[in-house]
Amino acid sequence: MDKITTRNIQMFIVDLINENRKDRRGKPLKPYSPKTVKNYKTFISSVFDYSVKMQMLPDNPCRNVVLPKLKPKERNIYTLEEVQKMLDLFEEETEANYKYTIFFTLAAFTGLRRGELLGLEWKDIYWDDSLLKVVRTSEYTKEKGIYTDTPKTESSKRFIKLPPEIIQKLKEYKAWQDKLKEEVGSKWIESDRLFTKTDGSPMGMRQPYKFFERFCAKTGMRFVNIHSFRHFNASILINNGVDVRTVQGCLGHSCATTTLNIYAHTFQEAQARAMDDVAKCILNRENEKKT
């Protein structure tokens, strides 16, 4: 460790964000995100801090390492018109794709993460209060297969208020699933999940993605990804003047700073529009006085 210098670590950090990165076989690699680069530096620094504490090294070479200022990539978000068009097109979808149309309808209206949507169970819906409780996620690894986990953070455990129209759609969807359960009979695997395979077991992580990819190719709708609906939901909240702490609670972020960092540009645009409205009100008042 005493051979590692600040320059070595700095070169390592720079390489992580290099857009021309390649693996040992010459295959192109994507540059890491600013957050991942920062996490790498923090981890390496913690190892050196321990070494200094144990008097193995005189100082921590990470202290003089500079994290490059990276421009955050502009988020590819669906517009309100695109989401409205999608919901209209869902009305024409076949019964076989019914569960996917409900999945993406919920994604747009709630801003839930993919794992949170797939982890939803019928007992999480409080029908009389029109509330949806988020308490688990559905995840997948090659070793474990599909498994249930806790949400990303404690703040991710939350209640979300649903409009009457969505509650009605969920009631109709439950009736559809109950009918499917009767048809499958004893082969049905009870999981209580909203989104399942044809045998009742939890739906796979890739299934909604594959459906939406086909759906966009068939209808000509612009294809982004599942997570873009979370960004769409956040942008609608922010552009309608919802304060940052409420947006934080709706999205299940651990703190308001996270929300501000992720949606800084959206907040700035909303604030600019708000200030324009203030100016218009003042100027209109001044014009009234003159007339």
Which CA distances in Å does 218 have to 86, 165, 191, 213, 221?
A: 12, 27, 32, 9, 8
Q: Give the pLDDT of residue 73.
A: 61
* Residues 58, 119 within the same domain: no
Q: What is the pTM of this model?
A: 0.74
pLDDT along the chain (291 residues), means of 10: 90 85 81 84 93 92 84 76 96 95 97 96 97 95 93 88 96 97 96 96 96 96 92 90 88 82 76 75 68 59
Q: Which amino acid is at 156?
A: S
Domain holding 41, by residue range, is: 6-64
Residue 247 lies in a domain: no
Residue 175 lies in a domain: yes
Per residue in 127-185, pLDDT tens? 999 999 999 999 999 999 999 999 878 889 999 999 999 999 999 999 999 999 999 99
Q: Give the pLDDT of residue 189.
A: 96
User: Residues 45-68, buried b or exposed e (16+ Cβ, 10 A)?
Assistant: beebeebeeeeebeebbbeebeee
Place of tokens 């949606």: 263
Q: Give the pLDDT of residue 72.
A: 58
Residue 158 lies in a domain: yes
Place of tokens 């609670």: 249
Residue 99 lies in a domain: yes
Q: Give the pLDDT of residue 162.
A: 96
Q: Give the pLDDT of residue 287.
A: 64
Among 172, 195, 223, give the residue marking a domain's end. Answer: 223
How many domains does the chain divide into?
Answer: 2
